[in-house]
Amino acid sequence: MTVDKYLNPGNRRFQKSLNTKIYVDKSGLIEYTNGILNTLGRYVCVSRPRRFGKTVTASMLEAYYSRGCDSHAQFDGLKIARSDSYEKHINKYNVIHCAMTRLLSDGMKIKEGLVKFKMTLISNLTDAYPEMALDGSDPIPMLSAVYEKTKVGFVFIFDEWDCVFRERKDDINGQKSYLDFLRDLLKDQEYVALAYMTGILPIKKYGTHSALNMFKEISMTGADPLQEYMGFTEKEVKSLCKRAKCGRKKKIGIREWYNGYTVNGLRIYNPYAVSEAVTSSEPLHGYWTATETYEVLEVYIKTNAYGVQDRLVDLLSDKPVEVNTDKFTNDMVTFNGCDDVLTLLIHLGYLTMFIKDGKKYVRIPDREIREQFVTTMESDGFGNFDEARKDSEKVFRATLDGDAETVAKYAQIIHRRRASAKEYHYELSLKYCIEFAYLAAEDLYNEVLEMPAGDGFADVGYIPVNGLNAKYPPMIIELKVNKSAEGALRQAFDKMYQEFLSAYHGPVIVVGINYDEKTREHTCEIKRVPV
């Protein structure tokens, strides 16, 4: 039987990443890990969604730190080679790297997987140090003995460390045994030079206690100082598009489809989706969502647990929803309210969080995820959403037909249905409701919020996905409170939309919508103007 090799597996896995058509240099992360080696802060857990580069990062660290191989040829041309710490640490440590999903292979229970891990590690250490006559009953004293003899520290890299909480949700005793083992293996152990874990969920808490409280948590709700390593940055995507010779239209499409995650104020792109998009000749679509299972999303939409359905409708209106992420217990079964469900969806990549005026909010990150929300809600027969979707189709068709009376009618219906009494008279509230009113346009248009207009902003702009055509021209929606629909329309005319729409030649639909607080009525004017 072949024994897994956890100890110093070498640099072959990272070489495969370098061999791909699309490789983005994230080796700057190594400068950070070099800075925490052999310090009290040598424990870091980085959690981010599936296919966001966790395994590539793990293989990069494995290749850089592992003894028994020479990785200079791989790293000499990367960013880390310019760091003063580069030569000091490259290939200088014993690395123990394990994809923790292997603990659960063949349907094993958590405790069975732990036994397998221990036995494999014992075998690896015995084979690597036959001259030491190590006691082969427990890996922890063996690691201590090797370190005392060699003075070479161990770098632990555990990929998908949280798989036991996702795949064995009901095995509570097994989960506790797993956490206790990791604590005993890593916490305060002198042989640990660095412990780096990756996962989707942050570290599991039991009440207010965590067995792994020595770890610095890096996640989609707080990634400082590693936010640039959580996805692709704007600069990196521009470089990829240039290397792949993407045209202007594709570049704009990539931004609309895959850019929208916010981590510590930095906007990042979905790395898997961008990598697929820039190398594909197909029209842009949901690359990442095609690889995901939406079981969690479907469960909470169907049951409307804690009012999640209403929050999702708000999010589809591009209305930010306030969230408290602090009480989340970091598993997929313990929920005490809507905040916990929304927090889980942040960690899974279905929502993104941002902070404004000291408060935390969530929103749908990009078009790829937005379309999946709509598809899921439609397929699940969500009654309120179905009704709103039908109203949206009427608004959209009426806009194309120039039927201002119908647009005003349904703008009023949707505004009254979606806005709370407290916020009803705010122009921002009207904006959220109108954006939802045009939900039916999303298959044909890219929505541009606060569209630049030379000396100002339109409230909402819709640019055709496949370019200008007579049937579906660009649309600009101007919103006002206590003014007039004509006034909103005049403001739209006065602004310089030509700058943004320079690639288009033909009609543009300009819609002015006004809400009058005294009469509580909505009025609308629609005109087609040339660009």
Model confidence pLDDT, tens digit, residues 460-483: 778 787 665 667 888 888 877 777
Residues 256-261: what's their mean pLDDT?
87
Q: How confident is the model at residue 390 (pLDDT cuts 50, 70, 90)?
A: confident
> Residue 300 above 80 pLDDT?
no
- Kindly tell me if the per-residue pLDDT of 106 is higher than 90: no
Residue 11 pLDDT = 96
Task: Give pLDDT, residue 405.
Answer: 94
- Amino acid identity for residue 297 in this structure: L
CA 201 to CA 325: how far, in whole Å?
13
Minimum mean pLDDT among 1-15, 37-51, 184-198: which range? 1-15
pLDDT the model gives residue 126: 94
d(C-alpha 260, C-alpha 270), whole Å: 8
Q: How far apart are CA 310 and CA 301, in angstroms?
A: 9
- 364 or 295: whose pLDDT is higher? 364
pLDDT tens for each residue of 410-430: 888 877 766 554 444 445 556
The pLDDT value recorded for residue 303 is 61
pLDDT tens for 28-64 read 999 999 999 999 999 999 999 998 999 999 999 999 9
Helix axes 338-348, 295-303, angle to 10 degrees: 160
Quick one: pLDDT band at residue 331, thresholds 50, 70, 90?
confident
Six-digit token pair at 418?
């979606």
Q: How far apart are CA 323 and CA 341, in angstroms?
A: 10
Q: Select the more confidently predicted residue: 373 or 356.
A: 356
Q: How far is CA 90 from CA 5, 11, 42, 112, 199, in A?
A: 20, 12, 17, 35, 25
**177 has pLDDT over 60:** yes
Alpha-carbon torsion, ordered 499, 501, 505, 511, to 10 deg: -120
- What is the residue whose two structure tokens read 């009803």? 424
pLDDT over 90, % of the chain: 46
Query: What local confidence, expressed as pLDDT, does residue 399 receive?
Result: 92
Residue of 252 and 353 predicted with greater confidence: 353
Q: Is the pLDDT of residue 150 over 50?
A: yes
The stretch 156-164 carries a mean pLDDT of 94
pLDDT tens profile 477-516? 887 777 777 766 666 555 535 545 666 677 888 888 888 8
Burial 245-263 (b: 16+ CB within 10 A, else e): ebeeebbebbbbbbbbbbb
Half-sphere exposure of 208 (CA within 13 A, CB side): 0
Please give the share of the chain, as a percent, with pLDDT higher than 70: 84
Q: Is the pLDDT of residue 442 over 80?
A: no
Contact predicate 90/71, CB 8 Å: yes
Q: What is the mean pLDDT of residues 122-138?
A: 90
Token pair 């010779």: residue: 245
Q: Which two tokens stand for residue 494?
A: 């006065």
Residues 6+ apart with CB under 8 A from 457: 450, 451
209: phi then psi, degrees, rounded to nearest 5: -110, 145
Which whole number is the average pLDDT over 148-172? Answer: 92
If you average pLDDT over every residue of the chain, what do you get? 84
Q: DSSP string of 270-295?
A: -HHHHHHHHH--SPP--HHHHT---H
pLDDT over threshold 90, residue 307: no
CB contact at 8 A, 121 and 6: yes
Spatial neighbors of 72 by CB under 8 A, at least 6 apart, are 90
Lowest mean pLDDT among 98-112, 130-144, 269-283, 298-312: 298-312
